[in-house]
Every structure is written in C-alpha cells, then in structure tokens.
Structure 1
Amino acid sequence: MLCDLDNVIRFYDTRELASLERRAGLAEGTTQRVAFAPETDLPLLLGEITKEQWVESIVVGLAGQIPEAQARELGTALANAPFHADSVVVDMLVQVRTHVPLVLVTNATVELEDDLVSLGLAGFADHVISSARVGVAKPDQKIYEIAAGQAGVALDRCLFVDDRLENVEAAVRLGMTGVHYREPADLREALAVLLDR
C-alpha cells in the first residue's frame, strides 16, 4: 500500500495564518495560493531550497499586495503552521500494515523525517519515499516506480491513496489501483477486505 502523507494522514492548522491575512486585508487562502504555486513550491519539494528560501519566495509572490514585513510574517506563519496526525487514518494504516507493506509517498521537504518524529510516526511505515530525498515529485511516474520498488511489488499490485486527483490518475495510468482521498470513509471502503480480516 502506497499512501500520501499531507491531507490524508497529516493536517495543518492554518487559523493563525487566516487571522493574519484578514488583518492584512487579504482574502483567506491568498498566502497558500502563492506558496503552493508550482514555481514557488516545487524547488522546496525537490530539496533545492530551504524552508527559509521558500518563505522569501512567498514574500516575492505577495509583493505589491502588502508590505514586505507583513508578507514575511504571513510566509513564516505558513511555514511554521502546527500540524497533527489523524488518529482514525493512522489506526487503519497500522492495521493494514500487519497484512501488506506500507510505503509513504509524499511531496515533502527535507524536514520530513523530523516531522514524522514530532507526529509520533517514526517507524510507522515500512518505507518513506520523500520527493526532497529522491529528487522527483508526484505526479512524476518515477516516484511511483521508486515506491513500488521499495515495497518489492509490481506496479499493478499497488494500492495508491492521495488527496490530489492528478496524483491518483498518474498512479492509475501506471496500472495501480487508485483511491482519491477526501475523508476516512474513502480509505475504509478501499481497505475493507484487509480491515475486516
């Protein structure tokens, strides 16, 4: 089983960021739209820039909308947003791992390993494939091939779970079974055979 991390297992609390955006006169979500645009986000996810450099690129992206100091405050609030793991999803995946290998496949920063420790998820999966470590990001087919290789199974024997439809569609094109995750029920339905054992 290949599973995404963010917005499946890990969720961020962006309430402070939303409050700062309102104070700055920006629509809620403006900072994230700038931060997660491919030209801003991808260098971070490929391990080419640091989180600090990412914040500076957010500042550049917000230029002209708000003062630089305020933009930096927003970028920093996003970069340091607290996060937690969904215990319902974690419990399901722990059960599944007793039957099949579990591989996390995530577009992540070089801080992923530390993040997993702080989530209490170090050693949670059999393997962790991070875009920042392997130099390719979903939906590039190479990251799926790396993950399947680590699991020791053929691509068509993999179940892939992700919250982004484009990533699921890329996995399906390679012959994987794909699950577009929106809520725990999506995962429970896909894993019913294993969870009911």
Structure 2
Amino acid sequence: MTVLPFDAVVCDIDGVLRHWPTTAEAGLDATHGLPAGAIEAAAFAPARLQPAITGKTTDEQWRAAVAADLAGACGSAQRARAAVAAWSDVVPRVDREVVALLGRAREAVTVALLSNATTRLERDLARQGLDTVADAVVNTARIGVAKPDPRIYLIAAERVGAAVHRCLFVDDTPANVEAARTVGMTAVHYRRPADLHDALAPLLAPGPGRP
C-alpha cells in the first residue's frame, strides 16, 4: 500500500487558480480619466485592504471607500463610483490546468483553497464554477486573520482535518510560503503550473494518456 507524503493540499487562489488583469490591461484607469494604476493603488493600500480581507469591513464597504478615495482624481464622486463599478465587473482568467491538477490531487487527499479575500469570494467562485474545485474554502474575511499570519495556516489545517506537518501549501507570494513553513507545512512557491504538477506528483494517479 502506497504511503502518501501529505494528507491535504492547501492552495492559494489568486495568482494560482485564477489571474486578474491589471486595471491598465483592462483599460479601466484611462477610460475613467485616472493615472495608470490609480484604482489598484487605492484598492490595495494596506489601510483599505487589510480591513476588507480580515472581515472588519464588507466587500461593499471596501469598494465604496475606494470610490471615495478616487473621487478627487476622477473629478466627481459619480465618476469614481463608475470606475469602481467597472473594476468590480472584471472577471479573472481561470487556469484550467490548475483546476485539473487539483481535481486529480483530490482523488487522493483533501484539497482546500485558502485566500486573502473579501466577503465577495464565495460568490465570485460560484460565478465561475470554482466552488466545487475543493473540499473547503478558507476565506480570511470570514475568519479575521489573513496570510501571512501563522494562525491562518493552523486554521486551514484544522478545516481539512490534517496535522499541519501533513499539509502541502501552494502560494505565489514568497512571504506566505515562508510563513507556512514556519508552522510546519511543506510549502511551494508557485510560479507556473509545472510547479504545482511537481509538488503534487506523489499524489497524482495516472489518468488516460497521462504519465
């Protein structure tokens, strides 16, 4: 009987499973009369983002605050709200190779998604059919702590019912990877699907036409 090296896989979402275009790539800043990157600078400023990904503010409150911050640059509150509404309607690209790899891993172990996200995450995943990719979704906005806080990794391990040292963690942000290692997880810095394939290789049963 094969002994697997892990009992669970805990995988990041943004930057691994799905990929958002920048506001410049989507043409949003220019369309709304803003300097390149202005929407992202306002949205991801720590003072704005941290409360949203730890559940202190809702997604709606976060976006309203971003619009208020942009009002001066846009020339009016109405134009700022339109810019944020357009940004909110952007849909990320889903990496289907990653979806397939997680599906294969799930045949052997429990798989969870762990994301620094707002209260909109669950709705967004369902919209793109990603709500069934994993056995569990750990949304930091529902918990009150976010990566790289060590507590979030312990909570994720508890959610999947595995000892921390029996979890494989995958993330595209080096700081999050290092934090996972400090609590005892095996952690992989994701840059491309091949990184995930290599990390999951001991768990992947061969499929039709696959080595």
Query: TM-score normalized by structure 1?
Result: 0.88
Superposed displacement of residue 145, structure 1: 0.4
Q: Residue 184 of structure 1: which of 186, 189, 193 is its match?
A: 193
Q: Between 20-29 and 82-91, report the one with greater CA deviation.
A: 20-29
Name the residue aligned to 1:5: 13
Return the structure number with greater helix share.
Answer: 1
Superposed displacement of residue 103, structure 1: 1.0
Q: Deviations over 1:111-133 (max 9, x none)?
A: 22222221212232111111111
3-state SS, counterpart of residue 190 of structure 1: helix
Amino acid aligned to 1:173: T
Q: Taking structure 1 as reference, are residues 157 and 85 closer, same or farther at Cα in structure 2, changes over 3 Å only?
A: same
Superposed displacement of residue 25, structure 1: 4.8
Q: Residue 113 of structure 1: which of 113, 122, 140 is its match?
A: 122
Q: Deviations over 1:33-74 (max 9, x none)?
A: 220122111222222223332122213433543313333222
Q: Deviations over 1:142-162 (max 9, x none)?
A: 111011112222211111111
Corresponding residue pairs, total: 197
Q: Which residues of 2 match residues 124-135 of structure 1 at below 5 A?
A: 124-135=133-144
Superposed displacement of residue 90, structure 1: 0.1
User: Residues of 1 paired with 2:192 and 2:204: CA distance?
Assistant: 17
**CA RMSD across the alignment:** 2.1
Amino acid aligned to 1:8: V
Name the residue aligned to 1:42: 50
- Uncovered stretches (5+) of structure 1, i.e. residues with no partner: none
- Uncovered stretches (5+) of structure 2, i.e. residues with no partner: 1-8, 207-211
User: Residues of 2 paired with 1:83 and 1:43: CA distance?
Assistant: 23
Q: Between 25-34 and 117-126, report the one with greater CA deviation.
A: 25-34
Instruction: Work out whether 1:152 is the aligned partner of 2:161.
Output: yes
3-state SS, counterpart of residue 123 of structure 1: coil
Amino acid aligned to 2:149: D
Conserved 8 A contact 2:148-2:176: yes
Name the residue aligned to 1:86: 95
Superposed displacement of residue 18, structure 1: 4.0
- Bigger Rg, structure 1 or 2: 2
Conserved 8 A contact 1:84-1:119: no
User: Residues of 2 paired with 1:73 and 1:89: CA distance?
Assistant: 33
User: Residues of 2 paired with 1:64 and 1:113: CA distance?
Assistant: 32
Instruction: Work out whether 1:28 is the aligned partner of 2:36.
Output: yes
Conserved 8 A contact 2:23-2:87: no
Conserved 8 A contact 2:108-2:204: no
Superposed displacement of residue 137, structure 1: 1.1
3-state SS, counterpart of residue 138 of structure 2: strand
Name the residue aligned to 2:4: none
Query: TM-score normalized by structure 2?
Result: 0.83
Q: Taking structure 1 as reference, are residues 2 and 93 closer, same or farther at Cα in structure 2, changes over 3 Å only?
A: same
User: Residues of 1 paired with 2:38 and 2:192: CA distance?
Assistant: 24
Identity %: 45
